Structure 1
Amino acid sequence: MCSFSYFCLSSSSFLPDPVSNYLFILNPNSGTSIGKKPGFVKSTIETVARQSGHQAKIIFTEERAHATTLVAENLKIEEWKAIVAVGGDGTVNEIAQPLVGLDTPIGILPMGSGNGLARHLGLPLTLPAALKRLFEGTVTTIDSAQLNDIPFFCTAGMGFDAYVGHLFSQQSERGLATYVNVSFKSYWSYKPQSFRLNGSDINAFSLSFANAGQFGNNAWIAPAASLQDGFLDVVTISPFPKWYGTSLAYQLFTRQMKASQFISYQTVKEAFVETETPPMIHYDGEPLQLDTNKITVKIRPHSLKVII
């Protein structure tokens, strides 16, 4: 019986082997805990893996995008029961990229600031419980998505969310409190932007593409989004009076976002966006300044295996 926080994913296979090799890739700069005690996290993984009858290889990342390189290198060395992301959505993204279309599943130990994909999947957020789920879980297949040539698995977008993501990435302290503080300060000065979405001109506070339902920290931008329906939820938040911001935040964090005077939803397999100048975007919470003003976003149905 499933016990996910939002919905039950259909599981396709069990993990039957009594002894299996797992590759764990740790981002020591993720979230609010790993950077402070990476040695403890590493020893816990080793202990639980050994007690569960599994073998664990653990590697630390050294810079942005290093996890992607590590996955590609280690896939050539041997077959893994799973390659496990130990970190936040950015780490999950880097590790999942080279696994798209392969039979090797990704496992997730959610140690990041937001953990959007893990929360949507209903994965435990504590290390011991997440390890137990990893070794006892099942493998299912979910959709992934792509913005131009950039894969994403949770959400991507532009506008206010990308602007806040950029400022948040520059902070020395991570976590929800820092994110809320940055968002609040940015809210009062941020100006909506012009977009051409699928041929229609719009002025928007933010434009989001949701594969999973939330950004992270249970901020549900698209509560009805499914990881297995072969569609993206496009969420457009139109300019609104400043007083409405409190209501918007309440809806976001209570999973009550729905179509309204200022919020519109549509489901698509592909979307085309043009902007006046190359925009700042975010993909799975990672900010990026594009060098083009033409953006194509599309779904890649049933393309990533994940342990749940």
Structure 2
Amino acid sequence: MNQPYLFILNPNSGTSIGKRTEVLQNTINAFAKKYQSTAKILFTEERAHATELVKENLQTEDWKAIVAVGGDGTVNEVAQPLVGLQMPIGIVPLGSGNGLARHLGLPLTLEAALKRLFEGKAITIDSAQVNDIPFFCTAGMGFDAYVGHLFSQQQERGLSTYINVSFRSYWSYKPQTFRLNGVDTHAFSLSFANAGQFGNNAWVAPQANLQDGMLDVCTIKPFPKWYGTSLAYQLFTKQLKPSRFIDYQNLREAVVETDVPPMIHYDGEPFQMNTTRIEVKINPASLRVIV
């Protein structure tokens, strides 16, 4: 028998995981058997539970990989304890956005994702952190964090809900002032990209590289309302580039200061900060992931 795999499954990810947990378990076990391995499957019960499950089980077996089954939030929770270790994370992307999986080119269906998991190889990528919170895909503040906060309060998940929330928020949201590395910046949004997209193929930093030891910092400046359609088109066609409204910087670290503690998002998860000083930095070559 080959080394076993530990699967951490979030039944609240995406739009249907919770409705088909038995099918998921049977499929995972069937693939493990096919590849002469075994699978231990654990379910999360609340936010941050995946991190605790990884910590509790990390040393209990000689795992081949610890696998996040869910979206970017689940990936984040599973990956946090693995930063700096040789143990790789596997990703079965069944969430709403799946930004990191899409950037890595992983399949988005259950069977194809499991086939890639059992046949793939581990590579090493960068991770990052905002204050003491690790992130692996993107983090930011401004409009994206505002939408993320509203989206988290919705009963229904999925792309259509996200678009609906974004559209309604667009007309009422007011740009904010941030002090980025000592320079006052009036911005619609401020994004720190390790991977290139938020999820759902919304590419905020098409040029981002998970292995270059740098963060791509995207500042979207206030713009006329009519420009929103063009901005959305560029975002979803991977054509966002520097312009009079969009600025990019490559940084290893950044300090953002605000007048009041901001709402941020990290890997799509909204979080209300309790400080007005936000430190963001890259951690090069710090996470192994199966691709």
Q: Same fold (TM over 0.5)?
A: yes
**Match among 168, 172, 193 for residue 185 of structure 1:** 168
Partner residue, 2:159: 176
Tell me whether 1:105 sits opposite 2:88 in the alignment: yes
TM-score (norm 2): 0.99
Whole-Å separation in 2 of the counterparts to 1:263 and 1:62: 40
Q: How far is 1:158 from its partner?
A: 0.1
Structure 1 residues 99-156: Cα deviation after superposition (integer angstroms, max 9, x where no partner): 0000100000000000000000000000000000000000100000000000000000
Partner residue, 1:204: 187
Opposite residue 97 of structure 1, the aligned amino acid is Q
Whole-Å separation in 1 of the counterparts to 2:259 and 2:62: 46
Whole-Å separation in 2 of the counterparts to 1:231 and 1:301: 8
Partner residue, 1:134: 117
Opposite residue 185 of structure 2, the aligned amino acid is I
Opposite residue 241 of structure 1, the aligned amino acid is P
* Contact kept? 2:193, 2:205, Cα under 8 Å: yes
Partner residue, 1:8: none
- Provide the secondary structure at the position in 2 that maps to 1:301: strand
Structure 2 gaps of 5+ residues are none
Whole-Å separation in 2 of the counterparts to 1:306 and 1:199: 35
TM-score (norm 1): 0.94
**Match among 18, 39, 56 for residue 56 of structure 1:** 39
Structure 1 residues 141-185: Cα deviation after superposition (integer angstroms, max 9, x where no partner): 000000000000000000000000000000010000000000000
Whole-Å separation in 2 of the counterparts to 1:200 and 1:157: 17
Q: How far is 1:19 from its partner?
A: 1.1
Alignment of 1:1-308 (within 5 A): 19-308=2-291
* Contact kept? 2:8, 2:66, Cα under 8 Å: yes
Opposite residue 67 of structure 1, the aligned amino acid is A
Q: How far is 1:57 from its partner?
A: 0.3
**Which deviates more, 45-54 or 187-196?**
45-54
Structure 1 gaps of 5+ residues are 1-17
Whole-Å separation in 2 of the counterparts to 1:61 and 1:222: 31
The ranges of structure 1 where at least 4 consecutive aligned residues each deviate by more than 4 angstroms after the TM superposition are: none
- Provide the secondary structure at the position in 2 that maps to 1:119: helix
- Provide the secondary structure at the position in 1 that maps to 2:225: coil
- Provide the secondary structure at the position in 2 that maps to 1:243: helix
Whole-Å separation in 2 of the counterparts to 1:128 and 1:263: 39
Q: How far is 1:78 from its partner?
A: 2.0
Opposite residue 88 of structure 1, the aligned amino acid is G
Whole-Å separation in 2 of the counterparts to 1:32 and 1:68: 22
Opposite residue 180 of structure 1, the aligned amino acid is I
CA-atom RMSD in angstroms: 0.6
Aligned length: 291
- Provide the secondary structure at the position in 1 that maps to 2:196: coil
Structure 1 residues 268-299: Cα deviation after superposition (integer angstroms, max 9, x where no partner): 00000000100000000000000001000000
- Provide the secondary structure at the position in 1 that maps to 2:166: helix
Whole-Å separation in 2 of the counterparts to 1:68 and 1:47: 26
Q: How far is 1:191 from its partner?
A: 0.1
Opposite residue 284 of structure 2, the aligned amino acid is P
Matched-pair identity in %: 76
- Provide the secondary structure at the position in 2 that maps to 1:288: strand
Q: How far is 1:228 from its partner?
A: 0.1
